Amino acid sequence: MLRAGSSPGGRRSAPVLVWLLPTVVTAAAAFAAASAASAAARTGVLWCGAVGTAAVAAVAAEAARRGRALVTLRRQYAEQEGELRRRLARQEAETVRLAKVALPEAVGRLQRGEFTEDVLKAYESHDGVTGPEFQAARQAVLRTVLEAVDNEEGMRESAQRAFVNIARRVQAIVHRQAQDLREMEDRHGNDPAVFDDLLRLDHGNALVGRLADSIAVLGGARPGRQWSRSVPLYSVLRGGMSRILDYQRVELHPVSEVAVVGPAVEPLIHAVAELLDNATRYSPPHTNVHLTAVEVQTGIAIEIEDGGLSLTEEGRARAERMLMEAQAGIDLNDLGETPRLGLAVVGRLAQAYGFQVSLRPSAYGGVRAVLIVPQELITTAPATGRAHGIGIASGPRPVTPSVPRPAGGPRPWGSRTMAGIPAGSSFGSAAGALPGRAPADDEVPVVNERTANGLPQRRRHAAPSRTGPAKAPGVPQPAKAPVQPGMWLAAFHEGVNGHAPSTGAAGHTSDESAGKGEQ
Amino acid sequence: MSAPGQEWDENSPERLYVITRGRSGLAEQTTFDLVTLIVSRSEPEPSMQPEHAAILRLCGAPLSVAEISAYLRLPISVVTVLLADLLAEERIEARSAVPQAILPDRALIEAVMHGLQKL
């Protein structure tokens, strides 16, 4: 207070001096002039001096006043300028924050699935430092950007959905076609020329199917089909082989007798197919690709080794980066003009199902891809599925024909087939068209002379005396025991050739049937 | 998609051309016909393709090609290809069905029939 009071006082002395000094000087000059002038002129000079002094005093006073006003104004301006600068700085800071922090965060939240309005609310600022107009403008900017991003996301999503939808439709058609082709293959199985054409069509169909699967997977969907039962690993690997162009170059080595649980079957087939496709595509056409699977601590390691060019460290890094990127999620737009879908698809599948994929230089000089299927996707329980009715469930283990079939053991498929086939349930007439094999084992088979694909079908043998001993001992069998395959024909030959039906033949039959039971 | 998935379940993921490695049996057609009898000459080995092993197991007793095809549920052409492989490795023996010449003459049978009827 004291300072505020004293400061104007101190200031006032200088301007007073400023307007007093010219006045005093002018007055002194007037007096000097008056004293120097003659008496006659003195009055005039005095008047002039007085008028001059007064004028100087007035001008000086005015100048001083203006000077003071100027100082005040300057001070006010300085204050105002400071204030404006501070506001500008705040606005700048706010804009920078908007650009560097708020917008990216808001877009990120939007991409994580939050609603535009919620995000906008979260980024309203109430600091009161910046004006309401600025706030409104800032929110408008935020809203415009977020809405644009939201639209874009929506469009991309719908585009992806459209992709997946189309892929699904293609998958359905391919699947239908595969079934039809299989039926035709059964029907025309005894005409090699037609069969050859059918096989080629079937192969092309499988390739189309894989492409559709790839698009579906990249679109974030599952691969097409689902398997409710576990499938033997061998069948899965061959399933992968059937979906690539150069399957003849793939050499499948014996694999351990495990099965893959249903939900993982289709993705594994697809991943193996893509890796095999890569291997066959990037190795010379005359080299083989080795496919094998071994048990490891964490599950099953499927190895695919080719004899192509070795992977440079850079190439390997690029491939692995592609796998990693695919695991993080893939943008269909990033695939480019000539998409190399393979690794992206494998990466996507690996991420979804917990496969581990690695690419290493191979000892053969090519690339060695190892896909590890985690233990929980593997089952050692005998798979119900069979590789085309024979496969791995029965396994390639040697059979000792003399061991009788254990009573109550799993029913050998042979006996079921014997009852099933004459009824025309599955083979030939329409594979898969009749779900479930309808005829029970004890049903009397209807005689069909020929199946749809021209196979002669056996009439039930009319001479039970010869087939009687064919029952395996100790095994509950249907009252009408199925005839041992081939035996009646052998007996027929014996009859035709004039030999009496020997008991040895019967004994052989029993052994043989026991041997079949082992399977 | 679940309904077709269920249907598909009945089948196997592998296609027939993988089993035959692309061969369709055109070349093998002459060796086997539907009634050729097949007998295995050796035990199946673990390193064999499962289909080969299954044929060897099945053919412990003579079995016609048609029957093998029915049991394996594979078309004749596929079976023929597989059999040709096994035959080349001498793991099976193929016997043609009863040759025409061994069968008694039709006229002779008719003569016997008539003779019997006259008795």
Tell me if chain A has a CB within 8 Å of the CB of B94.
no
Q: Is there a contact between B75 and A195 if contact means CB atoms under 8 Å apart?
A: yes
**Are the beta carbons of A193 and B26 closer than 8 angstroms?**
yes
CA distances from B10 to A128, A433, A460 (A): 71, 10, 28
- Taking the Cβ of residue B99 and every Cβ of chain A, the question of whether any pair is shorter than 8 Å is answered with no
Q: Is A515 exposed, middle or buried (0-12, 13-18, 19+ CB in 10 A)?
A: buried
For A181-209, give one letter per residue: b (16+ CB within 10 A) or e: bbbbbbbbbbbbebbbebbebbbebbbbb
CB A305 within 8 Å of CB A265:
no
Mean pLDDT estimate for chain B: 78
Are A226 and B2 a contacting pair at CB < 8 A? Answer: yes
**Cβ proximity of A251 and A289 under 8 Å:** yes
Residues 40-69 of B with CB under 8 A from A: 43-48, 50-51, 53-54, 57-58, 60-64, 66-67, 69
- The C-alpha R_g of chain A, in whole angstroms, comes to 49
The whole-number pLDDT of residue A288 equals 86
- For residue B63, list its beta bridge partners: B38
- Residue A369 phi, psi dihedral angles, 5° rounding: -100, 130
The pTM (predicted TM-score) of the whole model is: 0.59
> Looking at residue B115, what is its pLDDT?
93
Neighbouring residues of A351: CB distance < 8 A, sequence distance ≥ 6? A326, A327, A328
A519 contacts A413 by C-beta, under 8 angstroms: yes
A324-328: Cβ within 8 A, 24+ apart: A326/A351, A327/A351
Residue type, A44: G
CB-based contact A239 B13, cutoff 8 Å? yes
A76's tokens: 């006010």
Contacts of A238 (CB under 8 A, 6+ apart): A252, A387, B13, B14, B18, B19
Q: N- to C-terminal Cα distance for chain B?
A: 72
Distance CA B62, CA A130 (A): 98
Burial (CB count within 10 angstroms: exposed 0-12, middle 13-18, buried 19+), residue A454: middle
Return the half-sphere exposure (C-beta side, CA atoms, 13 A cut-off) of residue B108: 4
Q: Is the dihedral of CA B68, B74, B78, B82 positive or negative?
A: negative
Chain A residues with CB under 8 Å of B7 CB are 179, 432, 435
Residues of chain A found within 8 Å of residue B6, distances taken between Cβ atoms: 226, 228
CB contact B5 to A (< 8 Å): yes
Phi, psi torsion values for B99, nearest 5 degrees = -65, 150
Whether residue B62 contacts residue A492, with contact meaning beta carbons closer than 8 Å, is answered with no
Contact B74 A388 (CB under 8 A): yes
Closest CA to A242 of A287, A285, A276: A276
**Could you read off the pLDDT of A252-308 as tens digits, one per residue?**
888 888 888 888 888 889 899 988 888 888 888 888 888 888 888 888 899 988 887
Q: Would you tell me the crossing angle of helices A487-496 and A503-518 to the nearest 10 degrees?
A: 160
Rg over CA atoms, chain B: 20
CB contact under 8 A, A485 and B45: no
pLDDT of res. A340 = 63
- Residue A232: left (phi > 0), alpha (psi -120 to 50), or beta? beta
Chain B interface, best mutation among A213, A388, A511, by max B CB count within 10 A: A388
The per-residue pLDDT string of chain A (519 residues; one tens digit each, 9 = 90 and over) reads 444 444 444 455 566 777 788 888 888 888 888 888 777 788 888 888 889 888 988 888 888 889 899 999 999 999 999 999 998 898 888 888 888 888 888 888 887 777 878 877 777 766 666 677 888 888 888 889 888 888 888 888 888 888 888 888 888 898 889 888 888 888 887 788 888 888 889 899 989 988 888 888 888 777 767 777 888 888 888 888 988 888 888 888 888 888 888 888 888 898 999 888 888 888 888 888 888 888 888 888 999 888 877 667 777 777 777 777 666 655 555 555 445 677 888 888 888 888 888 888 877 778 888 889 888 888 876 654 444 444 333 333 333 333 333 333 333 333 333 333 333 333 333 333 333 333 333 344 444 454 555 555 554 444 444 444 444 444 444 444 444 555 555 555 555 565 554 444 444 444 444 444 443
Cross-chain CB nearest to A269 (options B13, B34, B53): B13
CA-to-CA dists, residue A190 to B18, B31, B62, angstroms: 18, 13, 21
3-class secondary structure, A369: strand
pLDDT value of residue A467: 40
Q: Helix, strand or coil for residue A265?
A: helix
- Residue indicated by tokens 């203006």: A66
* Range from A73-82, A85-94, B26-35, B63-72 carrying the lowest mean pLDDT: B26-35
Order of strands, edge to edge, in the sheet holding A289-296?
A250-252, A289-296, A299-305, A367-374, A356-361
Non-local (6+) Cβ contacts of A348 within 8 A are A217, A218, A326, A327, A330
Select the CATH number that applies to the domain covering B12-118 from these four: 2.20.70, 1.10.10, 3.30.70, 3.40.1000: 1.10.10
Q: List residues bridging with A373 in a β-sheet.
A: A300
Print the SS3 string covering A282-311: CCCCCCCEEEEEEEECCEEEEEEECCCCCC
Query: Tell me, what DSSP letter sits at residue A358?
Result: E
Q: Given phi > 0 = left and psi -120 to 50 = alpha, else beta, which region is A408?
A: left
What separation, in Å, do the N-terminal and C-terminal C-alpha atoms of chain A show?
A: 112
Taking CB atoms and an 8 Å limit, are B58 and A485 in contact across chains?
yes
What is the DSSP pairing of strand A289-296 with strand A250-252?
parallel
Q: How far apart are CA A336 and CA A311, in angstroms?
A: 23
> Measured in whole angstroms, how far is the alpha carbon of residue A396 from the centre of its chain?
37
Residue with tokens 């595509």: A281
Q: Which residue among B8, B19, B25 places its CB closest to the CB of A175? A: B8
By the 10 Å C-beta count (0-12 exposed, 13-18 middle, 19+ buried), B57 is classed as buried
CA neighbours within 13 Å on the CB side: how many for B75? 32
Write down the domain spans for chain B. Answer: 12-118
**Number of neighbouring beta carbons within 10 Å of residue A301:** 17
Asked if ipTM goes beyond 0.90, one says: no
Residue A438 token pair: 């309808």
Spatial distance between the Cα atoms of B108 and B106, rounded to a whole number of angstroms: 5
| Chain A nearest C-alpha distance from B117 (Å) | 21
Look at B60 and A512 and tell me if their CB atoms are within 8 Å: yes
Residue predicted with more confidence, B91 or A221: B91
**Which amino acid, A9?**
G
Question: Which residues, 6 or more positions from A193, have their beta carbon under 8 angstroms from its beta carbon?
Answer: B24, B26
